[in-house]
Structure 1
């Protein structure tokens, strides 16, 4: 597969986001001079405003993904089969839509993309699957999934370790989903990134790439930048210690198409997606945050969702959210980051 775009090609969602205030959501901490997490990442604000709240009889939390909607609001996906619309300034819920599979059963909904026409592409870890939904929660379509990526015994994936991240590449033609952990038979820490190409309104299976996580970490989210590179969240949890959350810039330009490679091992001759550490969030200033369980930094929690809300000349605004698992010792927390990356004038990826 070959992907071409220019830096000036922005998604409709990012264009809509240009009007978002730099002040961040209400109920957030004020900006502080000691906001630097690393030379390239700063924490502007965090907000616990939605922690342990309800809206229209639905628990607000369990957030696994964020996306910009076509009207500039935030779409927030709960892994308990609910899709919320949030005010982009205040985070206040404005609506909630229940989700289900074709038989009416609940999803383990993890990844979210809002397409240019307002339809929602949503992953479920159960099979795994990707379905297209209307804004009203009605199923419109279901995408094919390669057999090896299915949960065993149908495939080689492990339950609850499949499609977590989902993103649409610039131009809207290529969809990319990230597995959270390795398949059986692949080396530990090597996760597969599967793509689909849009053809006459339908997504068809396309190239696949391999990405190596840091030891013990998985990939809960991935987001495309307007130049075709990827922001990748890596996350892990150690009981009694807490969470590890790292943000990487990944570059798939020279990665091998691994769709025909049965086992990804050290000797497979595969060129992995390149990555550069932007920050380990443990280094961010806590800014008065508190944790309900042991954490190496009280700011940290089970961060799982990410969306780019603004982009200009290598300067990003990135919003993260944690999944509280509806658990008393975890917090639904939003993080407003500023991220700097070196701009690319042109992006070409070949596999």
Structure 2
């Protein structure tokens, strides 16, 4: 998805662009874990300035690894005391860290199954372009949505096997590199799936509402739309405890770099043809510590709503995998 402009990013960074947000240097060696974490401020010039819109910065880290399979994080979930993240080359990353950022466990694996090339042959990384994920803590099931294949695969909690997959006809016309980018499992078991670039009602991007498990063939989904901020595209979404939706939107240009807007969306009745719109609550621009933010997680902790964001480094040495943590203060 974002990789199509990775070369432009590389040129832009080398040329001295604002995409080089801080001078943090990571030294990933000497520890027993597959993933390392180095702290990073939100604003390197103002490390004590932690407010941004309706958010308060609680801490952030640059994640790194000596394993070449690590990177490309496109979606993430909270499972127990740790995280499970997927990459857009088929990687599965499990890790836990304490409030100070100390890694307590971490491992790196690959999806055990997924889309295969249409013409046959060996599976390539592009065939496992995972861009969205949903998790049900009650059953331990994970659902992963793939671009290019425009379909869903369901996995067990350990990502040791897949027991269902489906490529819905309603997604056939989604762009090859602009398909399912965000997926949310609602409390009643329905699924919202957001296209990055597929055409929805009016000038919106298409959203599909599945009545049940999208990895199993069933009734046709309800067609909706999502209207992101002008020139931005959705990269992930997560359900808040009060039923509102938090949406991560990203903008990129060679001249301006990366910008991120976090928006709140009231879901309402979700009727056919409805267009979802959001209210921005925080905007991240250079020289803040941001990158290609693609993963969003919400959790409740001690009466507070905690928001986590992670970035896709495109396996580009000039980009970083960031993990940023905030408290939502609009409540």
TM-score, normalised to structure 2, is: 0.75
Q: 2:153 aligns with which of 131, 137, 140?
A: 131
Q: 1:142 aligns with which of 151, 156, 165?
A: 165
Aligned to 2:297: 307
Q: Distance in 2 between matches of 1:302 and 1:92?
A: 26
- CA shift, 1:197, in A, is 2.4
Q: Distance in 1 between matches of 2:288 and 2:229?
A: 22
- CA shift, 1:139, in A, is 1.9
| Structure 1 position 41 matched with structure 2 position 55 | yes
| Structure 1 position 73 matched with structure 2 position 73 | no
Alignment of 1:1-351 (within 5 A): 27-29=38-40, 33-38=48-53, 40-48=54-62, 50-51=63-64, 53-55=65-67, 58-69=68-79, 71-89=80-98, 90-91=102-103, 94-99=106-111, 100-101=113-114, 103=116, 105=123, 106-115=127-136, 116-134=138-156, 135-147=158-170, 149-150=171-172, 155=173, 157-171=174-188, 173-183=189-199, 187-188=202-203, 190-198=204-212, 204=218, 205-258=220-273, 271-282=274-285, 296-310=286-300, 315-342=304-331
Q: Distance in 1 between matches of 2:96 and 2:217?
A: 30
Q: Distance in 1 between matches of 2:78 and 2:323?
A: 15
Asked if the contact 2:184/2:239 (under 8 Å) is kept, the reply is yes
Asked if the contact 2:115/2:149 (under 8 Å) is kept, the reply is no
- CA shift, 1:301, in A, is 0.8
Match of 1:232, SS?
strand
Q: Distance in 1 between matches of 2:154 and 2:217?
A: 10
Structure 1 residues 257 and 91 mapped into 2: Cα distance closer, same or farther (>3 Å)?
A: farther
Gaps in structure 2 of 5+ consecutive residues: 1-35, 117-121
Q: Distance in 2 between matches of 1:54 and 1:257?
A: 47
Match of 1:87, SS?
strand
**Which consecutive aligned stretches of 4+ in structure 1 deviate over 3 angstroms post-superposition?**
29-33, 90-93, 185-188, 201-206
Match of 2:197, SS?
coil
* Root mean square deviation of aligned Cα: 2.6
- CA shift, 1:227, in A, is 2.5
TM-score, normalised to structure 1, is: 0.71
Could you say which structure has the greater relative contact order, defined with CA pairs below 8 angstroms and 6 or more residues apart? Answer: 1
Asked if the contact 1:219/1:233 (under 8 Å) is kept, the reply is yes
